[in-house]
Amino acid sequence: MDGGWAHARKKQSRAKAEQNRTEQNRTEQNRTEQNRAEQNRAEQNRAEQSRAEQNRTEQNKTEQSRTEQNRTEQNRTEQNRTKQNRTEQNRTEQNRIKQNRAEQNRTEQNRIEQSRAEHAELDAASPTTSQKSRAAFVFYSGSTLLDKEERRRARRGAATASASASQPSFLFLCLFRLLLLWLVI
C-alpha cells in the first residue's frame, strides 16, 4: 500500500513538473511573440518616421526651389522694369534736349531774320554815303556819259536823298552837295 501511494505521488510530481514545463514554454513563447510584435511595431514606427522625414525634406526642398524660382522671376521682372524706366527716361531726356535745341535754333533764326529785316529797313530809309554822293554828282553835273540804267539809279538815289531832307541832317546834305559841286567844277 505504501508502495502504491509513493508511486502515485511520484506520478503526480512528474505530471506537475511536466505541467510546469509546459507553462514555462507557453510563457516563453508568449514573451517571444510579444517581443517580436514589439520589434515589428518599433520597426514600423521607425519606417513611418523615416518616410515622414523624407516627405518633409522633399516638401522643404520643393518649397525652397519654388521660393528661389519666384525670387529669380521677381528679380528679372524688376530688372526689366528698371531697364524700361531708364530707357523711357533717356528717350524723354533726348526728346526734351532735341526740342530745346530746335526751339533755340528757331529763336536764333527768328532773331537773325528780324535783325536782317531791321537792317534792310534802315538801309532803305537812309541811303549810304556812296549812294548819296553818286546821286548828287549825277544830279548836279548833268553828265551825259552815264547810260540810261545808271541815270535811273541815280535819279532813284537822288529822290531818296531828297526825301531825307526833312530829317535833321538837311543842312549837312546841302553842304555836302555844295562841296561835291565845287569838286566837280
Over residues 45-71, the pLDDT tens digits come to 999 999 999 999 999 999 999 999 999
> Can you state the angle between helices 129-141 and 170-184, rounded to 10 degrees?
60
- pLDDT for the residue numbered 151: 57
User: DSSP E strands: which ranges in 30-177?
Assistant: none
Question: Do residues 134 and 126 touch, judged by C-beta distance below 8 A?
Answer: no
| Least confident segment among 20-29, 58-67, 109-118 | 109-118
Does residue 105 register a pLDDT over 80?
yes
Does residue 165 register a pLDDT over 60?
no
- pLDDT for the residue numbered 121: 74
Banded model confidence at residue 13, pLDDT cuts 50, 70, 90: confident
Single out the residue of 137, 145, 149, 147 nearest to residue 181, CA to CA: 137
Q: Give the Cα separation of 166 and 173 in Å (integer).
A: 11
Banded model confidence at residue 185, pLDDT cuts 50, 70, 90: low
Q: Give the Cα separation of 140 and 120 in Å (integer).
A: 28
Single out the residue of 126, 163, 124, 157 nearest to residue 139, CA to CA: 157
Q: Give the Cα separation of 185 and 181 in Å (integer).
A: 6
Q: Average pLDDT of the chain?
A: 79
- pLDDT for the residue numbered 6: 72
User: Which spans in 126-146 are helix H?
Assistant: 129-141
Banded model confidence at residue 127, pLDDT cuts 50, 70, 90: low
- pLDDT for the residue numbered 142: 47
